[in-house]
Structure 1
C-alpha cells in the first residue's frame, strides 16, 4: 500500500530561530516558541524556514533545531522543515529532515540564479525525489513557476502542496482550476492575513501566519470570521491590527523576520530580538509603534482563557 499523503492545513506555524545576544542559537527560546504555538492550537510547525532564518543557519545548527523540534512536538502535529539554497545544501537538509523524523519539507528558492523552467524543474524534482517525505513548493523570489512546470511536478507523489508568495492572481486562478485538489494551496504572501480573503475565493484554504508567533488567537479569530463570512469582524481586525502591523513591516527590508521577534519579545516570549546579518533588528521607534498596536489589540481582543477539563 502506498503512503497516504496530506499537506498540513489551516493556519501554519513558523517558529523563529531564537538567538542569544552573542548570536548563538538559543534552544530554550526555541522550546518556548514551540510550546506557545502548540498551546495556541496551531495545526503544524515549520521549523528553519524563512522566519527561522534558514539562510543564516549552519548545517549543524539546522540539524540541532530540526531534531529538537521533532522530539518536542512528539507527533502531536506535523513537523515540516525548510530546505533550499544551493542544491547540495538542500539535499543534505532533506536528508537531515528525514533522519530526524520530520513529516516533510517546504522547498525554498535557489538563490542568486535566475533559472529557466527546466532548470527549476530539475532543482525541485531532485529535492522532492531525494526522500520519501512530503514536499511543498514555495513560489517566490527566484522560484517562479509556470502552470505547466507545476503540473509536471504534480506527477511526483511526494509533492503535496504549493505555497504562493508572489501574488499573481491570474496564475493562481489558472493553477487551481487546472490542478484542483491534487495540491493543498497555501497563501505565503507577506503577512498573509492581508490577502487571505482574496486567496480564499480562489480556493486557498491554508496560510502561513507571521503574527501567530505572538498573537495567534487574533490570527485564529480572523480566519474563523473569514470562513464564516463575518465581514464585519474581518474588517475590524484588518483596520485595528493586521494593516497597522503590515504598515510597519513594509518600512524596512528584513522586517519579515525581525518584526516577528520584536512582537514575541513584546508579549513576553523569551526569544530575544537578535537577528543575523544581513537582517537588521527593528528600529526603536518601530518597536514602540508595534508595542502600542499590540497593547491595544490585546485590550480589545484578549487571549481567551483556557478551559480545564475535569475527569
Structure 2
C-alpha cells in the first residue's frame, strides 16, 4: 500500500466549499474474527465516490472508531486515502479521553493522511453546566496540530454532547475550526446551533448530521451533510440534498417521504446503537461487503431486524 500524504494544509479544505454536498460517514467492514477488512474498505470507499459524495469520514461512530486501536485507525485512513487519493475529502473521527492523548492521536491521524478531524466529545464534557472555556481549551490545543477541525454536536443517545449556543460561539473563534456537524437529532437544538454558528462565524460550514430528519434539516439550512445514512444510501442522499439546494422542494419532499425516510426510520430506530450493524446489513445486501460483523460489545442483528432492513431498502429503491 502506498503511503498517504497529508492534505490538511490545502487551503480548499479550510473553506465552506469543501463541505458543500454530502459527506458519507463510513461503516467499517470486518471479518468474522472481528478484524478490519481493509481490502473491503477500499472497495467500499471507491463505490461511495462513484455514488457522488464529496467526502467520506472514517473512524467515526458509524465506523466503530471508539472500538479501534490507534494503529487500526491509522490503517483505515491509509486504506481509504490509497483508494480515493485526492478525489474527495477524507476526514477521520478523533476519539480520545483527555487533551494530551487527543493531541497525540490528532498528530498521528494527520500524518496518516486525514484531511480533517471530526472531534468527538471527551468525558470531561459530560454534565451540566459545561464551561465554554473548558471546551475552548480542548479545541485550542487540537488547533495547534495544524489540521482542519470539525466540531460535533452528538445526541446523548449515542454517547455524545450537544453544545449550548455560548459554547459554539466560543469555539467558533478557533483558527482551525472549519465546520460543525449537528447531530443532536432534535430540531430545536439544530436551529439553535445553526443560529449560534452563523452569528459567530458565517465562514464556518454548518453540516447536518441528523439522520432522523434529513430532508427537514436540509431545508432548515445546511451548507452540507455528514451522515451515517449516506454510508449506505449515498446517491439518494445526494439527490435529496441537491434538490433542496436547487430549491426543487417538491422533488426533495417526494424523495424523502417515499424513499429516504422509511429507510432512515429503520436504520436509526431504537436502539440507535444498532445502526452500525443495520448499515452493514444493507451493504451486504448490495454485495459491497462480505460480512456484517460488528466488534463486541456491539451485538449482531436479530433476523427480524435483517428483514426490516431489506424491506426498507426495497422501499427506498436500493434493491
Kept in 2: contact 1:33–1:271 (CA 8 A)? no
**Structure 1 residue 217, shift from structure 2 partner:** 1.9
C-alpha change, 1:145 and 1:182, in structure 2 (3 Å) is: same
C-alpha change, 1:289 and 1:144, in structure 2 (3 Å) is: closer
Name which of structure 1's ranges 159-168 and 105-114 shifts more when overlaid on structure 2. 105-114
Aligned twin of 1:266: 285
Deviations along 1:48-99, one digit per CA (max 9) or x if unpaired, are 1111111100111111111222222221112111102312442222111221
**Structure 1 residue 218, shift from structure 2 partner:** 1.4
**Structure 1 residue 139, shift from structure 2 partner:** 1.3
Q: Distance in 2 between matches of 1:274 and 1:197?
A: 32
Give the aligned length.
295
Q: Distance in 2 between matches of 1:196 and 1:298?
A: 17
**Structure 1 residue 38, shift from structure 2 partner:** 1.1
**Among 138, 157, 160, which residue is 1:123 paired with?**
138
Matched, 1:59 2:70: yes
**Structure 1 residue 22, shift from structure 2 partner:** 0.8
C-alpha change, 1:27 and 1:173, in structure 2 (3 Å) is: closer
Q: Which runs of 4+ in 1 moved over 4 A?
A: none
C-alpha change, 1:279 and 1:112, in structure 2 (3 Å) is: farther
**Structure 1 residue 19, shift from structure 2 partner:** 0.6
**Among 149, 155, 158, which residue is 2:173 paired with?**
155
Aligned twin of 2:196: 175
1:76-95 paired onto structure 2 within 5 Å? 76-87=87-98, 88-95=100-107
Aligned twin of 1:40: 51
Name which of structure 1's ranges 278-287 and 158-167 shifts more when overlaid on structure 2. 278-287
**Among 58, 69, 92, which residue is 2:80 paired with?**
69
**Structure 1 residue 252, shift from structure 2 partner:** 2.1
Matched, 1:205 2:235: no
Kept in 2: contact 1:33–1:269 (CA 8 A)? yes
C-alpha change, 1:159 and 1:277, in structure 2 (3 Å) is: same
Kept in 2: contact 1:186–1:204 (CA 8 A)? yes
**Structure 1 residue 170, shift from structure 2 partner:** 4.7
Q: Secondary structure at the match of 1:143?
A: coil
Q: Distance in 1 between matches of 2:124 and 2:306?
A: 31
Q: CA RMSD in A?
A: 2.3
1:1-311 paired onto structure 2 within 5 Å? 4=11, 5-6=14-15, 7-87=18-98, 88-111=100-123, 114=126, 116-117=130-131, 118-129=133-144, 131-140=145-154, 141=156, 142-166=160-184, 167=186, 168-191=189-212, 194-201=213-220, 203-248=221-266, 249-298=268-317
Q: Distance in 1 between matches of 2:125 and 2:95?
A: 13
* TM-score (ref. length: structure 2): 0.84
**Structure 1 residue 280, shift from structure 2 partner:** 1.9
Name which of structure 1's ranges 232-241 and 66-75 shifts more when overlaid on structure 2. 232-241
C-alpha change, 1:175 and 1:199, in structure 2 (3 Å) is: farther
* TM-score (ref. length: structure 1): 0.86
Q: Distance in 2 between matches of 1:112 and 1:277?
A: 25
Q: Secondary structure at the match of 1:72?
A: helix
**Structure 1 residue 112, shift from structure 2 partner:** 7.3
**Structure 1 residue 286, shift from structure 2 partner:** 1.8
Deviations along 1:207-256, one digit per CA (max 9) or x if unpaired, are 12333333322112212222233333233323322222232231323123
Q: Secondary structure at the match of 1:163?
A: strand
C-alpha change, 1:119 and 1:222, in structure 2 (3 Å) is: same
Aligned twin of 1:309: none
